[in-house]
């Protein structure tokens, strides 16, 4: 890297850490500010599948393909679909697919291990960022100010960098998910339901999801439609109260499925938010965004982390080029266009899984994928 920009990345999630790695490989001067006190401060969440042209490509360009393959779980790519009566309608073994799963914690650790010591400043919750007329930017970290040539907001859904570029904020998607964590050994009924990857049970505006993670863990989600004002009391309710409300909401469902709503397995209530599809901003020298900070969408496209990693690849190229901020403007245009397509898919996915029409649209979608991509099929698919 010849231009030696001083780059600050706010947020040490997959997108921010990948950008730091790619810039350092070119000799870049980069600092990551992360609000977590240390890498193990909080569980990083569930399993992610990395796609060949985006997530896997980024790992390859970062020189981390072997580490990814060592931690990835290609055997966990299967899909099962049930109706609300507990009838298994679709069961596909995905072991030959090309979207291996990896635990989010494992992915973050691979990226952290690849950075120069001291790159990540833990315990740095950035609140104040001040663009200067020189197009340099001051970052205030716990009362101390440092100056950078470029600040990248990789700080996720509630980015503190994004408001400096646009007044657009995430909007509630009308759906709230309650998250659960199980052990394959301690929750044998969940282990039997989930099959070789993940399962969806779909009914009238409701869904139950469970997905294999590494180390014998399974993560589950109960999703239902509710107004934003109704979601807040759920977030303030104790776990046994949340599970009682869920049991009422899923009262008409088969007991084999409602066994997933287990009070001892409760993790959190998560209302889903998204930025408007196709939103953007006028480029401003010294400040840009990547990943969820730029294009938060519901998880129903399965693209979020893949886009964050692809953004990091493209932004690293732009920051390392000799074409000044114009290269970053080009990055922003291409990144936002790519994200808008994925956001359309995420919105369509959410509205198909949580619809008054139940399981039919979801089943059609999976059967179309089988037909289009020649998935290996099981008797249930055909």
Binding residues vs ligand FAD (CB under 6 A): 10-16, 33-36, 46, 48, 124-126, 154-156, 160, 177, 270, 291-293, 299, 302-306, 308
Helix axes 14-25, 304-320, angle to 10 degrees: 30
Locate 81 and state its tokens. 């679909």
Backbone angles phi, psi at 237, to 5 degrees: -95, 145
Closer residue to ligand FAD (CB): 145 or 356 = 145
Count of alpha carbons within 13 Å of 68, Cβ hemisphere only? 23
C-alpha span between 250 and 230 (Å, rounded): 17
Whether residue 203 contacts residue 253, with contact meaning beta carbons closer than 8 Å, is answered with: yes
- Measured distance between the N- and C-terminal CA atoms of the chain, rounded to whole angstroms: 54
Contact 261, 250 (CB under 8 A): yes
Q: How far apart are CA 22 and CA 8, in angstroms?
A: 14
Residue 188 Cβ, how far from ligand FAD at the closest point, in Å?
24
What lies within 8 Å, CB to CB, of 337 at 6+ separation is none
For residue 180, give the 3-state DSSP assignment.
strand
Q: Would you state the structure tokens that stand for residue 155, as one six-digit string?
A: 């700080």
Shortest Å, Cβ 96 to ligand FAD: 19
User: Which CB atom, from 14 or from 286, has the smaller least distance to ligand FAD?
Assistant: 14
CB of 351 to ligand FAD, least distance (A): 17
User: 365 in the Ramachandran plot: left (φ > 0), alpha (ψ -120 to 50) or beta?
Assistant: alpha
Residue 48: CB minimum distance to ligand FAD, A: 5
Instruction: Give the residue with the Cβ less far from ligand FAD, 86 or 131.
Output: 131
Min dist CB 244 to ligand FAD, Å, is 22
Q: Would you say 23 or 308 has its CB closer to ligand FAD?
A: 308
The order of strands in the sheet holding 78-83 is 88-92, 78-83, 197-203, 206-212, 217-225, 171-183, 266-274
177: its two tokens:
């998910």
Closer residue to ligand FAD (CB): 124 or 205: 124
| Paired residues of 220 in beta bridges | 180, 210
Nearest to ligand FAD of 91, 303 (CB atom): 303
Q: Which is nearer to ligand FAD, 31 or 205 (CB)?
A: 31
Min CB(12)–ligand FAD separation in Å:
5
Distance of CA 296 to the CA centre of its chain: 9
Answer for the pair 270, 157: CB distance below 8 angstroms, yes or no: no
Strand ordering across the sheet containing 137-141: 128-131, 137-141, 144-148
Cβ closest to ligand FAD, residue 13 vs residue 94: 13
Half-sphere exposure of 108 (CA within 13 A, CB side): 20
Q: Which residues does 209 contact at the CB level (< 8 Å), separation at least 6?
A: 198, 199, 200, 201, 220, 221, 222, 223
Residue 278 gets the label, from left (phi > 0), alpha (psi -120 to 50) or beta, of left
Q: Cβ of residue 312: shortest distance to ligand FAD, in angstroms?
A: 8
Least separation, in Å, of the C-beta of 55 and ligand FAD? 7
| Minimum distance from residue 42 beta carbon to ligand FAD (Å) | 8
We find the least distance from the C-beta atom of residue 367 to ligand FAD, in angstroms, to be 21
């Amino acid at each position: 890297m010849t231009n030696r920009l001083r780059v600050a990345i706010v947020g040490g999630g997959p997108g921010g850490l990948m950008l730091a790695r790619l810039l350092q490989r070119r000799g870049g001067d980069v600092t990551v500010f992360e609000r977590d006190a240390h890498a193990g401060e909080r569980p990083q969440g569930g399993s992610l599948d990395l796609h060949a042209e985006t997530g896997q490509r980024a790992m390859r360009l970062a020189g981390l393909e072997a580490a990814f393959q060592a931690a990835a779980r290609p055997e966990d790519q299967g899909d099962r679909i049930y109706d609300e009566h507990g009838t298994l309608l679709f069961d596909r073994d995905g072991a030959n697919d090309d979207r291996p799963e990896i635990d989010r914690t494992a992915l973050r650790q691979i990226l952290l291990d690849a950075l120069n010591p001291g790159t990540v400043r833990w315990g740095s919750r950035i609140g104040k960022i001040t663009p200067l007329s020189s197009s340099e930017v001051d970052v205030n970290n716990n009362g101390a100010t440092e100056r950078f040539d470029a600040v990248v907001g990789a700080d996720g859904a509630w980015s503190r960098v994004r408001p400096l570029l646009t007044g657009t904020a995430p909007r509630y998607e009308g759906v709230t998910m309650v998250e659960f964590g199980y052990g394959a050994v301690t929750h044998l009924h969940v282990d039997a339901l989930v099959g070789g990857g993940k399962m969806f049970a779909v009914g009238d505006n409701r869904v139950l999801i469970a997905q294999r993670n590494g180390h014998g863990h399974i993560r589950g989600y109960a999703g239902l439609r509710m107004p934003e004002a109704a979601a807040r009391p759920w977030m303030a309710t104790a776990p046994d109260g949340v599970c009682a409300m869920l049991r009422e909401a899923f009262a008409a469902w088969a007991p084999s499925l409602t066994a997933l709503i287990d009070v001892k397995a409760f993790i959190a209530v998560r209302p889903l938010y998204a930025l408007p599809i196709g939103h953007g901003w006028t480029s401003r020298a010294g400040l840009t965004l990547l990943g969820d900070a730029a294009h938060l969408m519901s998880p129903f496209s399965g693209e979020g982390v893949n886009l964050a990693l692809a953004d990091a690849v493209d932004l690293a190229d732009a920051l390392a080029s000799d074409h000044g901020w114009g290269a970053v403007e080009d990055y922003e245009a291409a990144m936002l266009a790519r994200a808008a397509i994925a956001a359309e898919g995420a919105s369509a996915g959410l509205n198909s899984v949580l619809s008054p029409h139940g399981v039919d649209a979801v089943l059609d979608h999976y059967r179309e994928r089988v037909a289009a991509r020649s998935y290996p099929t099981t008797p249930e698919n055909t």
